[in-house]
Chains A and B, each alone.
Chain A
């Protein structure tokens, strides 16, 4: 959009990567899991099981006829003890399937590696796997791999930037699951006829970059490359990553496929590599558990549907009473109101903060310093948005291109007056959308 320089604006939000050296631990199956039926952007699934049913690991328990969806699978074997509704972190209501584990983890015998010979079968297989964008957006991946103009897509960009502070789960994936990443990427490139693949990794994860480079040389892969990025926030945002790798500007509302690239998170690709080998759908997730309220911060693999307090208990329990628990990183993650929320597919971190770390100082007056404008990757003017929003001025919001905002939170982070600018941007965007739908 307004990009002129080689790099977009970015900020130093601190790294806090305490768990980068923690090898992933596999969490034992909890007594009960509660699996949400709406784990993707689009339509929520309808439960396929009812109270009293016995389910096996990997069995499909939720599906729908709607277009934009992916199915949901059981992460444990056992008995369905109820179908609940609960308020989710977004404020809406979710349907949850509660499964009491029998501790056996009996696999569904019908699970077999998918037979894939062409693009259509590949897309169907991805859909059946229940894969969504694991970077956080939870966009159904099958749809991403089914672009309108398939021939126009020339580049696969794998997002291993992991620019959010605290989170190290993608880093561990790249170290521990590198072969699956490569296999998954090769499969995507084969079925979508993509020529080249870049893995964007921030340069604070040099071991992951070296690891991939070594494997590419050893295996004689000449169309996959690592792409070191300067470690700063928000390098892992899709539109920023596309610009850094290809130099192409991606406005809001433009699909990456229209620019000839597909961007996918490294964990999604690693899952894909594994799924094509063993056919086990997305039922568990690697995540970072950190924050000053957690006794033993570590990286774990937990079954989807595990409640947060069970995860924390596996990490030694609470060290201090938590004040704020986040699903995802501190810059874009969602604060949940209860530690009984279940893990969903796109969780890459659970961060529990005590009062001291969760405290954000009071808002003071704007001093017009312009740091928000300087921090914004797209050079937007968050103070202008905030003023226009407070004045209810939709025209000015449009003039300043509020819809380009991707809500990365950089403006709020740097604001010396601690104004909730990112929040105001969201409200401003909602206001513009509402005005548009009212036909103004």
Chain B
């Protein structure tokens, strides 16, 4: 053994595995942002500069609140994982793109921006950070942010600007959403299914264009970022519920078939956007496939019950919030079924009882 040889006696030891995937939280969040880009691009196309400004304000504010909260409380900085940007983007796409004119009332220019800031604050600080930050929030931050704004600024949040193509023909600046027409019981002026599919309708800025959302969904599913279970069961439940409701009640608006109304409910409002981007939020949805199935069905049911039987025209965000709260129960249920926990316990108790009898 040569004596001048150099040995390495101080190597790192750690538990296996010694390789990890490069698909970490940051990359995952970047993929989600990428999947949201088509919807964001279409919203800017339809609603112009206001959409762009609101998206930018929401994303910047969300990241800022996350950074500021963690700085104030001396917590590790998590801005770089990009989750705050995703929250901000989803929140922005859930808002109507009203920057200045509403129904003839001229809002001060800072008002919509203030709304964006309040929404981001509620989403990031109240819903996410106060509950322990990343991975600990029980409800989807963007959804709660939207609901808070909806309940606090109802007139602002339920006034929908028209797209630039709708505006081309008429004078009006705002109009009803398809679901608004439906709530009024008159679909005469309602845009066609094709317009709804392309997004040429009034509504929250990211929710309108079904095709852009579908592109994002296919991307996320192909990259294995989300499982298709929740979106598929959510949308399918909405479709089947609407179809059965209109078939059985015969309550369809004039000249519309039940099938048309089922498609209408899927394309209108936030069903597609909510199913793909909000209901699939990892933190607030169940882990196991069975839990995901029940979660998707639950979202669809609550959405349709609110739409058809309650006074709000739209119920997707309430439905998702409701199911977020149900998630721990669904998780427990799915685990119990999958691993046969209570079954085994029952059998063990039975065996113990039999034993006791013998003795």
User: Taking chain A's interface residues, is the majority helix, strand, or loop, or is none over half, making it mixed?
Assistant: loop
Q: When the two chains form their complex, are residues A337 and B16 in contact, meaning their CB atoms are under 8 A apart?
A: no
Given A309-B5, A338-B8, A416-B28, A369 and B282 touching (CB < 8 A)?
yes
Q: When the two chains form their complex, are residues A337 and B135 in contact, meaning their CB atoms are under 8 A apart?
A: no
Q: When the two chains form their complex, are residues B19 and A413 in contact, meaning their CB atoms are under 8 A apart?
A: yes
9 interchain pairs, CB-CB under 8 A: A13-B17, A333-B18, A360-B14, A369-B28, A369-B282, A379-B338, A416-B23, A416-B28, A417-B24
Hey, which chain B residues are within 8 Å of A437, CB to CB? none
B73 within 8 A of A: no
Q: When the two chains form their complex, are residues B10 and A337 in contact, meaning their CB atoms are under 8 A apart?
A: yes
1/0 contact string of A27-39 vs chain B (CB within 8 Å): 0000110000000
B341 within 8 A of A: yes
**B interface list, Cβ under 8 A from A:** 1, 5, 7-21, 23-25, 27-28, 78, 81, 83, 133-136, 227, 282-285, 287-288, 335, 338-339, 341
How many Å lie between the Cα of A323 and that of B338 in the bound state? 42
* A324, A364, A384, A399: the one within 8 Å of B78 (CB): A364
Q: When the two chains form their complex, are residues B20 and A412 in contact, meaning their CB atoms are under 8 A apart?
A: yes
A351 — nearest CB in chain B belongs to which residue? B18
* B16, B20, B23, B83: the one within 8 Å of A334 (CB): B16
How many Å lie between the Cα of A353 and that of B17 in the bound state? 13
B76 shortest CB reach to chain A, Å: 8
Q: When the two chains form their complex, are residues A340 and B9 in contact, meaning their CB atoms are under 8 A apart?
A: yes
Q: When the two chains form their complex, are residues B12 and A358 in contact, meaning their CB atoms are under 8 A apart?
A: yes
Hey, which chain B residues are within 8 Å of A414, CB to CB? 21, 23
B19 shortest CB reach to chain A, Å: 4
How many Å lie between the Cα of A107 and that of B359 in the bound state? 67
Looking at B1, B8, B21, the one whose CB has the most chain A CB atoms below 10 A away is: B8
Given A367-B134, A369-B282, A360 and B20 touching (CB < 8 A)?
yes
Told that A322-B11, A365-B135 touch, could you supply 18 new A-B pairs with CB distance under 8 A? A2-B339, A309-B5, A323-B12, A324-B12, A326-B18, A330-B18, A331-B19, A332-B17, A333-B16, A335-B12, A335-B18, A361-B20, A366-B135, A367-B135, A367-B283, A413-B17, A413-B19, A417-B25
User: Taking chain B's interface residues, is the majority helix, strand, or loop, or is none over half, making it mixed?
Assistant: loop
A400 within 8 A of B: yes
**A interface list, Cβ under 8 A from B:** 2, 13-14, 31-32, 165, 309, 321-326, 330-340, 353, 358, 360-361, 364-370, 373-374, 379, 381, 383-384, 399-401, 407, 409, 412-418, 420, 422-423, 426
Hey, which chain B residues are within 8 Å of A335, CB to CB? 11-14, 16, 18
How many Å lie between the Cα of A337 and that of B83 in the bound state? 38
How many Å lie between the Cα of A422 and that of B23 in the bound state? 18
How many Å lie between the Cα of A32 and that of B112 in the bound state? 78
Looking at B9, B13, B17, B135, the one whose CB has the most chain A CB atoms below 10 A away is: B17
Looking at B7, B11, B338, the one whose CB has the most chain A CB atoms below 10 A away is: B11
Hey, which chain B residues are within 8 Å of A2, CB to CB? 338-339
B87 shortest CB reach to chain A, Å: 13
Looking at B1, B20, B284, the one whose CB has the most chain A CB atoms below 10 A away is: B20
A101 shortest CB reach to chain B, Å: 11
How many Å lie between the Cα of A337 and that of B23 in the bound state? 29
Hey, which chain B residues are within 8 Å of A426, CB to CB? 15
Q: When the two chains form their complex, are residues A423 and B7 in contact, meaning their CB atoms are under 8 A apart?
A: no
How many Å lie between the Cα of A324 and that of B25 in the bound state? 25
